[in-house]
Amino acid sequence: MYSKDYQAIKQNNINEPMPLGNFSGTDGRDSWYNNVPASGFLAYSAAKKTNRVNSGVSNAMVLENTDEGYQYSLMAQITKKFTKGLMGTFAYTYSGAKDLTTNPGSSANSAWSSNTEVNSLNDPLLSYSGFTVPHRLVGSVSYRVEYIKHLASTISFFYVGYNQGRMSYTYSNDMNGDGNTSDLMYIPRDKNDITFIDFTSSGVTVTAQEQLDAFWSYLESDSYLSDNKGKYAERFGKLEPWYNNIDFKFAQEIFTGIGESRRGTLEITLDILNIGNMLNSEWGSYKTFGITNGYDNIQLIKTAGFQNGAPVYQLNASTISAFNENAKFVDNVSTGSTWSMMFGVKFKF
């Protein structure tokens, strides 16, 4: 299957000012700050942002159409019914989708400001859709047997496996000064390509070197970041962890003599959803990232100021131990990650 966007929706803020220049260094993206010094240091909080085109109006949103974007999927399936009540099926789906925006909001303004980009949100580049993961596996196997003329038992297992979703690497504050915390992260080429500065939390100073070492250790351990050094992170470029779910069903049928054209059947069922989680609490559990804004953005660092025309950073954590503890995917303890059991009784006639 393949589909192409013809008149997809794109938001445009016509009250956004033009950028005033570019940052120095390898991350030379557009800058909306009007007093970033060419030399010396300026604190992030002291940098004055530019005014809107019309200072008496906030964002002025216009909806536009775009034909940029596409979606496709390929699916293969094998189904086999064996003799003596055994049958199984297995399917694999490969999907891809790219768009300018997944419209992550309830209004034009929130959908625009919650989108992520390197430069202006008015000019988003084609990138991965947040709603499509590349691989999905689905399978089932069941065995049914009738015996002593009045009984039948069926045992079934159902499996589904896929990446939970997609996430974007962004800064936790407004890096480029356009008024939105929606800036995709630049992935440094090496340790010399990013600058951290000291900060003090609860009377304890966390040095720039400590932050750099912790950040770089994470970067090297992450397959997406380590494979894309020297590039900008892509919107929804990071795949979330693989999720496996297995459901179990047992059905016991008892045939009766009720009914003239068909036999009446009393059926007793037992369903165990996410049976892997019942066997091991670490199985069948959804994952969540510890340092995120809740909108599919991983936010490891934040802009702390500007030095010689380039941004400098701090970890988005109060201590190194807090960063190491939270900069990872952990089990999402919720009803969606736990196993459940259901009994059922029905009579068919």
Return d(Cα 103, Cα 109) in angstroms, integer: 10
In this predicted structure, what is the pLDDT of residue 314?
A: 97
In this predicted structure, what is the pLDDT of residue 260?
A: 60
166-169 vs 297-298, strand pairing mode: parallel
- Report yes or no: 71 and 129 within 8 Å, Cβ to Cβ: yes
Residues 211-231: tens digit of each pLDDT: 999 999 999 999 999 999 999
Q: Is the pLDDT reported for residue 168 higher than 90?
A: yes
Q: Is the pLDDT reported for residue 258 higher than 70?
A: no
Confidence of residue 45 (pLDDT cuts 50, 70, 90): confident
Return d(Cα 97, Cα 176) in angstroms, integer: 28
Residues 48-89: tens digit of each pLDDT: 777 788 988 889 999 999 999 999 999 999 999 998 899 999
| Residue 217 to residues 20, 120, 201, 231, 324, Cα–Cα distance (Å) | 35, 31, 22, 18, 9
Q: Is the pLDDT reported for residue 261 higher than 70?
A: no
182: tokens are 């929606």
In this predicted structure, what is the pLDDT of residue 245?
A: 96
Round the average pLDDT of the chain to a whole number and report it: 93
14: tokens are 């016509």
Greatest alpha-carbon pair distance for the chain in Å reads 94
User: Taking the CB of residue 9, how many other CB atoms lie within 10 A of it?
Assistant: 15
pTM, 2 dp: 0.91
In this predicted structure, what is the pLDDT of residue 242?
A: 96
Lowest mean pLDDT segment, chosen from 26-35, 204-213, 276-285, 288-297 = 288-297
In this predicted structure, what is the pLDDT of residue 51?
A: 79
In this predicted structure, what is the pLDDT of residue 257?
A: 66
Give the start-to-end residue ranges of the domains of the chain: 2-240+291-327
Residues 299-315: tens digit of each pLDDT: 999 999 999 999 999 99
Return d(Cα 211, Cα 44) in angstroms, integer: 18
State the Rg of the chain over Cα.
27
Q: Is the pLDDT reported for residue 130 higher than 80?
A: yes
